[in-house]
Chain A
Amino acid sequence: MMANPATWQRTSPFAIVFFVGKTIKTLGQSFAQLLVTFGALAVLIRRNPYLFLLIPLGILAIIATGVLQYLFFRFAVQEDRILIRQGVLKKTSLDLPFERIQGINVERSLVDRMLGLVTVSLDTAGSGAAEGQLPCVDAALADLLRTRVSAKHGSGDEGDARDEDAEEASTGSARRAVGGRSGRTGERREAILTLTTGDIVRIGLANHNLVLVGAVLALLGQSLDFAADILAPAVESAETAFAGADDLAQTLLVTGFIATLLAIALGLMIGAAVLRHHNFTLWREGTTFRSRAGLLTQKEVVVEAAKIQQISVSQSPLMRLFRRYRLQALPAAAMPAQARDAGGLPGLAEVLEVPALKDSRAEGIRTRVFGREGDGLTVLPGSRGFARISAHFIPVLTLRISLVSALIGAVILLAIVGSERALGVAVAVVIWWFCSLPPAALISWLKWHRHGYVYTGEGLANRGGFLGRKVDSFLFRKVQSVAVRQSPLQRRKGLATLHAHLACGKVSVPFINHGMACRLRDRILYRVESSRLRWL
């Protein structure tokens, strides 16, 4: 297969699975869309049971499209570029020169790993989407691509991209070639961190879905009388066993039942964490950061160091208990993590994520990514260096939260009571608004308490959050555009909000001194306009 890489070739037939998955993903691009489709289908089936036949037909159609897509997918690797042709009805042909490829990400499912195959996605600069994806190709091909791309990058524009690296190269010979699969490429490898089993268990325990699962279970149990049904015979037998002490037995059984459910949920969460993060390793190779993890589906994320725009370190309350942080290095055009998880949009630039790490490690990664420019810039939410934002933030947010809650309350009340008793509704809403002031003030105070910022001559770290804490830090020279905004109240108090737009999103520092905001903006502009280092 690899004998003559310049000719057109197909991927392995196992790619059909990939294409089927992709078709399903496009169909269910938005959850709402899927819901509507299923709802319509359910209604139709209720009307006419024969329509049930549509379901296997639909599945067959999806599989057939997968097969067709596989048959029409061809690619050719040439000396300096890769050509990809695909599409059944709408044909697209892609011509990707290796210089334009920023990263090669590799994912291996269980089947892939048994057969020595990989799914390669090629990240390109500029456009957000990973344009090229090669499903289920030979692992050797990924290596070939990698060497060719890195050769292109190495010979081409070594100068600016490797600036920070070049200095370290002279001193870095000591940590040459650490990893296991060394010798694959000729570049330096520096292991940065691996996750221990304890860390993975902590991730599982700190999963906030646990609370959600608990709530859902409780709801299910209540609505279906699920718990009662299961417990009824057990309670009866218990009653016969502990005649007279049935109250105690019942409470014991219920608590036991809940504990079992919780244990199962915990086990599932830890299992999911193990599946996803097993054997997590992060290392640096040349100018790229790479991470690999996964028990069944192994995923490798490769991000060019120069492409990283922002480092976000977050800590949920539970993780705070474990003294662990979550670090994300956002490359250009990366979607925020939540949107990525929810939408499941395929092929966006990968975020390099370390799910759990200690504070010293986080700072270590910060120095590696930002280099000497990041000196003095902290990424840790607990750091003492953060300056507070103005306390005028609290009343404004309090008012906003309470007004929104009052508005929602008014709408609900009007819907329930009707518009005849408008006066009563108005009074109720005003009372409701008054009652919602203290909790709103508490929330606002907590948010204000979380907010903070640190700046140096080269970068800024902005802390925020509500229950958890999160710090976004970036270098000034990576900023795309800046804005200083002032609301009427802010103007009266001499305050402003600073927005720094990066290629991966926006960082806002609210309610700081107006003069400060302007100076920060001017400093950012100065760094952007005078820096000759590449931002991408």
Chain B
Amino acid sequence: MGSPGIPDFTKAETHNPGPFANPEVRPGSLPRAATLDWQPLHPRYAKRLQAGALIRIGVLAAVVAAAHVTVLLAGFETLSRIAVWPLRILWALCALGGAWAVVKPLIVVPRCGYAVREKDILYRSGVLWRAVRVVPFSRVQHTRTDSGVLDRRFGLANLTVFPAGAGGHKIPGLGTDTAENLRAYVSERIEAEKLEAADTGS
């Protein structure tokens, strides 16, 4: 897969960094994201997602019900005849949405997870389209924990780390204290990285 004329470090050098070796990092401690102990998200997170989705579906259902009642009470024969099928479709959508709202978090949440290492934080997500994202602590500009109304009801919080450039990396569905501990750890690691950089830099 490598290109001709270019050293293929992937074969040998990940195990023995050779001339690229930085004496501070032992070859054994090289990050290898594949062999990781993934921490699951909080079990209540699935319930929180279900609740959120059900509330949204409930609002939709209320709107549909209001429309249905209006159509029935208005008494226009043509209108109620035309509106029969759209209303049936909307009700079906509501039912399907409700079912999906219950099922989806049960599928999605167990497949999400995070892992924290000495030098970086990882988050994996996705059922069909899977992704593993890694943010090294030495690149984190700031962190944020937040929890909305629903999150608080379920005792959950989200942690977001912001590297420079676009976008933050969000780890949702952590227990409140886990999120706080994690944030503290990340901040500590950022500081440590900064100190290390300052030490060896000058």
Residues of chain A whose beta carbon lies under 8 Å from any beta carbon of chain B: 126, 157, 159-160, 332-333, 376, 384-387, 453-458, 479-488, 491, 501-506, 512-513, 516, 518-523, 525-536
Contacts and interface: CB of A to CB of B under 8 A. Distances in A.
Nearest to A483: B133
Nearest to B17: A526
Given A458-B20, A488-B128, A526 B1 contact: no
Given A503-B165, A531-B22, A536-B164, A487 B132 contact: no
Contacts of A480: 135, 139, 163-165
B201 A483 contact: no
Max chain B C-beta neighbours (<10 A), residue from A385, A503, A532: A532
Contact of A512 (B1, B31, B166): B1
B95 interface: no
Interface stretch (B8-16, B149-157, B173-181): B8-16
A457 B138 contact: no
A529 B138 contact: yes
30 contacts: A332-B165, A333-B165, A376-B5, A385-B6, A386-B3, A456-B6, A456-B7, A457-B9, A457-B20, A458-B20, A480-B139, A480-B164, A480-B165, A483-B132, A485-B132, A486-B130, A486-B131, A503-B164, A504-B165, A505-B166, A506-B166, A512-B1, A516-B1, A519-B14, A522-B14, A526-B25, A528-B136, A528-B139, A531-B22, A532-B22
A443 B33 CA distance: 35
Contacts of A384: 4
B130 A491 contact: yes
B31 A525 contact: yes
A529 B201 contact: no
A455 B13 CA distance: 14
Contacts of B14: 519, 522-523, 526
A529 B136 contact: yes
A529 B3 contact: no
A513 B11 CA distance: 14
A518 B135 CA distance: 15
Max chain A C-beta neighbours (<10 A), residue from B13, B128, B136, B196: B136
Given A457-B20, A530-B22, A523 B3 contact: no
Contacts of A503: 163-165
B134 A483 contact: yes
B144 interface: no
B163 A501 contact: yes
Contacts of A485: 126, 129-132
Contacts of B130: 485-486, 491
Interface string B142-170: 00000000000000000000011111010
The 8 closest A-B pairs by CB, nearest first: A480-B163, A530-B22, A503-B164, A160-B201, A529-B119, A483-B133, A519-B10, A159-B202
Contacts of A482: 133-134
B29 to A, nearest CB: 10
Interface of B: 1-7, 9-10, 13-14, 17, 20, 22, 24-25, 30-34, 119-120, 126, 128-136, 138-139, 141, 163-167, 169, 196-197, 200-202
B201 A532 contact: yes
Given A482-B134, A530-B22, 20 more contacts: A157-B202, A160-B197, A376-B5, A386-B3, A387-B3, A453-B3, A456-B7, A480-B139, A484-B132, A487-B128, A501-B167, A503-B164, A518-B33, A525-B31, A525-B119, A528-B138, A528-B139, A529-B120, A530-B25, A532-B22
A487 B131 CA distance: 9
Given A454-B3, A480-B163, A523-B10, A487 B139 contact: no
Contact of B165 (A157, A457, A501, A518): A501
A333 B6 contact: no
A522 B165 contact: no
Contacts of B164: 126, 332-333, 480, 503, 536
B125 to A, nearest CB: 10
A481 B137 CA distance: 10
A520 B10 contact: yes
A527 B25 CA distance: 10
A535 B196 contact: no
A359 to B, nearest CB: 17
B130 to A, nearest CB: 5
Nearest to A458: B20
Contacts of A516: 1, 10
Contacts of A533: 201
A376 B9 CA distance: 13
Nearest to B132: A484
B139 A535 contact: yes
B201 A157 contact: yes
A453 B25 CA distance: 28
A185 B176 CA distance: 55
Contact of A376 (B6, B30, B31, B201): B6
A385 B3 contact: yes
A480 B168 CA distance: 11
Max chain B C-beta neighbours (<10 A), residue from A505, A526, A533: A526
Contacts of A126: 141, 164
Contacts of A504: 165
B163 A525 contact: no
Contacts of A534: 197, 201
A522 B32 contact: yes
A384 B6 CA distance: 11
B162 to A, nearest CB: 10
A528 B197 CA distance: 12
Given A126-B164, A480-B135, A159 B33 contact: no
Contacts of A536: 164
A502 B136 CA distance: 12
A376 B8 CA distance: 11
A481 B132 contact: no
Max chain A C-beta neighbours (<10 A), residue from B1, B129, B202: B1
Contacts of A530: 22, 24-25
Nearest to B201: A160
Contacts of B7: 376, 456-457
A487 B129 contact: yes
B131 A159 contact: no
A518 B7 CA distance: 17
Contact of B134 (A159, A376, A458, A481): A481
Contact of B133 (A332, A481, A491): A481
A4 to B, nearest CB: 35
A516 B9 CA distance: 11
A237 B45 CA distance: 83
A522 B20 contact: no
